[in-house]
Amino acid sequence: MNNFKEKVIYQIYPKSFKDTTGNGVGDLQGIVEKIPYLKELGVDMIWLNPIFPSPQRDNGYDVSDYTAINPLFGTMSEFEDLVKKLKAEGIGVMLDMVFNHTSTEHEWFQKALAGDKKYQDYYILRPLQAEGSLPTNWESKFSGPAWERFGETDLYYLHLFDVTQADLNWRNPEVRAEMHNILNFWLDKGVEGFRFDVMNLIGKDEELIDALPGQIDKLLYTDRPIAHTFIREMNQAAFGQRENIVTVGEMSSTTIEQGQLYSNPERDELTMIFSFHHLKVDYQDGQKWTKMPYDFMALKNILNDWQVGMSDGNGWNALFWNNHDQPRALNRFGDTGQYREKSAKMLGATIHLMRGTPYIYQGEEIGMLNPDYASITDFVDVESHNAYAELVANGMSEDEALMMIQEKSRDNSRSPMQWDTSLHAGFTEGTPWLQLGKTFEEINVAADLASETSVFKFYQQLIQLRKHYAVISEGEYVPHLMEHERIFSYIRQTDAEELIVWNNFYDQVEEIIIPSEYVVAGEVLLSNEDEQPAIDNDRYLLKPFETLVLYRR
């Protein structure tokens, strides 16, 4: 299938998917084993989080070699075999390219440290400011300053993330040529997609400056015009040369205007982008390590604005609730108790029927929940440990800090995939690198495959609908009931077809008005009720967390 608009992409976190060696870490062979599962779900492409050699300080986002496979996951020939076997089932592979920074263990950084001038120009090295302060006052996203002393020299290197993740100097054409070669290396192996990590941060200014008091430092290096130039150049030198390559740029805090530019096909940059604004509606003052009930109207307005805005600018959205950096959406926006399955389906329907490309994060399709770890020592993630230390240092009690981590940690989505009720949920026969979630005996793939009304079966349906209805893959998005405080509703339209989607985000019954054309000539395209709803008059009672989708020609 060559129309990317009909595709649904499934994200695999290889470390936590399926272990076949007993070392407690998932591997490529484990993915091969689960191809029939992916096939049954019906996805078109899998995005693999980084599988390259890496010290794993940030779980592979600290790459030490871009053109090899980490022995932790397998060998190059196993990777080639995986690509081939998936292709035979019509499933493409998307790799995760971490091009903003390398691990400090990368050969380039090591050569730079040893004094090689060529490689020193691969990184962003600066002296202290005249009065002795760090080159800029920017903060690392994983806490602390964004600069670290470069060996025994008087220079400092920039690291927007962990101290072992050194930012690359994209202004150096040699760096860009390296990146183009890396992409072509993987394209030659049959890779059909790339997810580009923090891609809107690659274009730093020549001259780096302090953020003014009250100014947010990230504005000084995010979405600089030159990022677009670098991306277009990469497109022309690599994936733009091949047919049907799907690319997605991860751009957590970008704007709609920028998103239009990155993904407008006429500009030859990327197929689509991820933006994260809708996943910050439970952050107080934009801060992650805070607690607040989520703001439904903000969630709805943000998703709506991106739908309308990206369409106006001929851009394309990546649609998602979950990824490996987010706690499970079901814990945030759904119900974890009696309505777990219903709300999981409702959340799925909300984004799968929008304009854009849906991404499913492993376990989402069976309604997995946060693992509910009991102690700080159960967490592995570097960001979680740094944040915990910082919260406690700033005066929070250890219990409170732990509660914060339990709710917000990235490990919430990284707990191993829950396959069945056997030891370690069928994930490994060894000791899992990260503990299993407490609920695996109830929530697992085997249970969902055996049930006719499972979340899995509903996701299967969502994927099929996108392939069969052009109004879902191609239609315009039209806002509906924007003032409603508990229902997220919208319309999709082409010249030939229309559908209306109602999603009840709460556990109360809501009355809705069905437009008369639908009462007369509409059909129920999708419902998450066990019994098919009857649409025989213009009033309808939407039950707790109900999704109702009506269709007409």
Which member of 295, 325, 390, 507 binds ligand TEU (CB under 6 A)? Answer: 325
468 Cβ neighbours under 8 A, 6+ residues apart? none
Which member of 10, 99, 161, 361 binds ligand TEU (CB under 6 A)? Answer: 161
Which residue, 252 or 460, is less far from ligand TEU as judged by CB?
A: 252
Note whether 143 binds ligand TEU by CB under 6 A. no
Write out the binding residues for ligand TEU, residues 429-458 only, by CB under 6 A. none
Which residue, 324 or 355, is less far from ligand TEU as judged by CB?
A: 324
Q: How far is the CB of 149 from ligand TEU (least distance, A)?
A: 21
User: Six-digit token pair at 346?
Assistant: 């409702």
Which member of 4, 13, 52, 61 binds ligand TEU (CB under 6 A)? Answer: 61
User: Are 217 and 138 in contact, with CB atoms under 8 Å apart?
Assistant: yes
487 to 304, 426, 455, 484: CA distances (angstroms): 13, 38, 21, 6
- Interface map 192-231 toward ligand TEU (x if CB under 6 A): -----xx---------------------------------
Write out the binding residues for ligand TEU, residues 371-400 only, by CB under 6 A. 383
Helices 398-408 and 382-393 pack at an angle, to 10 degrees, of: 150
Tally of residues, the chain: 553
Note whether 331 binds ligand TEU by CB under 6 A. no
Which residue, 222 or 439, is less far from ligand TEU as judged by CB?
A: 222
Which residue, 199 or 463, is less far from ligand TEU as judged by CB?
A: 199
Q: How far is the CB of 150 from ligand TEU (least distance, A)?
A: 20
Which member of 110, 143, 252, 301 binds ligand TEU (CB under 6 A)? Answer: 252
**Catalytic: which of 197, 223, 364, 365?**
197
Number of residues that bind ligand TEU (CB under 6 A): 12
- According to the 3-state scheme, what is the secondary structure of 329-387? HHHHHCCCCCCHHHHHHHHHHHHHCCCCEEEEECCHHHCCCCCCCCCHHHCCCHHHHHH
Q: How far is the CB of 512 from ligand TEU (least distance, A)?
A: 36
How many Cβ atoms sit within 10 Å of the Cβ of residue 244? 14
Q: How far is the CB of 198 from ligand TEU (least distance, A)?
A: 5
Which residue, 27 or 197, is less far from ligand TEU as judged by CB?
A: 197
- In three-state secondary structure terms, 230 is helix
Which residue, 98 or 183, is less far from ligand TEU as judged by CB?
A: 98
Q: How far is the CB of 489 from ligand TEU (least distance, A)?
A: 29
Which member of 7, 34, 141, 277 binds ligand TEU (CB under 6 A)? Answer: 141
> Among 399, 313, 310, which Cα is nearest to 355's?
310
- In three-state secondary structure terms, 249 is strand
DSSP category for residue 251: -
> Among 485, 341, 336, which Cα is nearest to 407's?
336
Does the active-site annotation cover 498?
no
- Interface map 454-493 toward ligand TEU (x if CB under 6 A): ----------------------------------------
User: Are 419 and 445 in contact, with CB atoms under 8 Å apart?
Assistant: yes
Which residue, 47 or 161, is less far from ligand TEU as judged by CB?
A: 161
Does the active-site annotation cover 197?
yes
From the number of C-beta atoms within 10 Å of its C-beta (0-12, 13-18, 19+), residue 395 rates as: exposed
Q: How far is the CB of 141 from ligand TEU (least distance, A)?
A: 5
How many Cβ atoms sit within 10 Å of the Cβ of residue 292? 11
Angle ∠(299,303,304) on CA atoms, nearest 5: 110
Q: How far is the CB of 32 from ligand TEU (least distance, A)?
A: 24
Which residue, 172 or 253, is less far from ligand TEU as judged by CB?
A: 253
Which residue, 58 or 335, is less far from ligand TEU as judged by CB?
A: 58
Q: How far is the CB of 312 from ligand TEU (least distance, A)?
A: 25
> Among 355, 388, 340, 395, which Cα is nearest to 501's?
355
- 500/550 Cα distance (integer angstroms): 5
Note whether 58 binds ligand TEU by CB under 6 A. yes
- Interface map 77-106 toward ligand TEU (x if CB under 6 A): ---------------------x--------
Edge to edge, what strands does the sheet with 155-158 contain? 125-127, 155-158, 147-149
User: In this structure, which long-range contacts are made by residues 306-309, counting pairs with CB atoms below 8 Å and at least 24 apart in sequence?
Assistant: 306/256, 306/259, 306/275, 306/277, 306/278, 307/354, 307/355, 307/356, 307/477, 307/479, 307/490, 308/477, 308/479, 309/256, 309/257, 309/259, 309/260
Q: Which residues pair with 97 in a beta bridge?
A: 196
> Among 479, 519, 444, which Cα is nearest to 355's?
479
**Catalytic: which of 58, 148, 167, 250?**
250
The catalytic residues are 197, 250
Per CB under 6 A, residues contacting ligand TEU are 58, 61, 98, 141, 161, 197-198, 252, 324-325, 383, 410
